[in-house]
Amino acid sequence: MAPKAQFTREDGLYHSFCGLVSVGWLYQKIKDSFFLILGTHTCAHLLQNTLGVMIFARPRFAVSLLEEMDLSSSQPNIDQQIAEIRREHKPSVIFLLSSCTPEVMKVEFEGLAHSLSTPELPVLFVPASGLDYTFAQSEDSVLQALIPFCPEAPPDDKRVVFLGSVNDAVADDFALEAARLGIPVAGFLPANHFHELPPIGPGTIIAPIQPFVPKTATQLRNERDCTLLQSLFPFGPDGSRAFWEDLAAHFDIKVDLREREAAAWERIREHTDFLRGKKSSSPPIR
> Which residues have C-beta within 8 Å of that of residue 270, sequence separation ≥ 6?
none
Handedness of CA 116, 121, 122, 128 (dihedral sign): negative
Looking at the fold, whether 165 and 144 belong to one and the same domain comes out as no
Residues 88 and 185 in one domain: no
Q: Which tens digit of pLDDT belongs to each residue from 164-196?
A: 999 999 999 999 999 999 999 999 999 999 999
Whether residue 164 sits in one domain with residue 143: no
Listed residues 149, 179, 205: the one ending a domain: 149
Given a contact cutoff of 8 angstroms between Cβ atoms, the answer to whether 37 and 51 are in contact is no
Q: What is the CATH number of the domain that holds 224?
A: 3.40.50.1980
pLDDT of 18 reads 78
**Above 60 in pLDDT, residue 43?**
yes
Q: Is the pLDDT of residue 67 over 60?
A: yes
Of the three residues 149, 178, 208, the one that is the final residue of a domain is 149
Give the predicted TM-score (pTM) of the model: 0.85
**Same domain (yes/no): 143, 14:** yes
Does residue 277 belong to any structural domain of this protein? no
Contacts of 237 (CB under 8 A, 6+ apart): 260, 261, 262, 264, 265, 268
Is 279 a domain residue? Answer: no
Residue-range definition of the domain harbouring residue 40? 6-149
Residues 65 and 174 in one domain: no
pLDDT of residue 81 exceeding 80, the answer is yes
Q: How many domains does the chain have?
A: 2
pLDDT at site 35: 93
Residue 278: inside a domain: no
Same domain, 170 and 192: yes
Q: Determine the pLDDT at residue 216.
A: 96
Q: Who wins on pLDDT, 97 or 3? A: 97
Q: What ranges make up the beta strands (E) of the chain? A: 6-8, 14-16, 33-39, 61-65, 93-97, 123-126, 160-163, 185-189, 205-208, 227-228
13 with 141, same domain?
yes
Residue 74 shares a structural domain with residue 129: yes
Tell me, yes or no, whether 154 lies in a domain: no
Give the pLDDT band of residue 14 (cuts 50, 70, 90): very low
Same-domain status, 140 and 180: no
- Residue 285 above 50 pLDDT? no
Q: Does any domain span residue 276?
A: no
pLDDT at position 220 over 60:
yes
**Residue 156 to residue 285: CA distance in whole angstroms:** 43
- Same domain for 21 and 142, yes or no, is yes
Q: Does residue 165 share a domain with residue 114?
A: no
Considering the domain architecture, whether residues 142 and 177 belong to the same structural domain is answered as no
Q: How confident is the model at residue 80 (pLDDT cuts 50, 70, 90)?
A: confident
Q: Examine the fold and report which residue of 127, 149, 171 is the final residue of a domain before the chain moves on.
A: 149
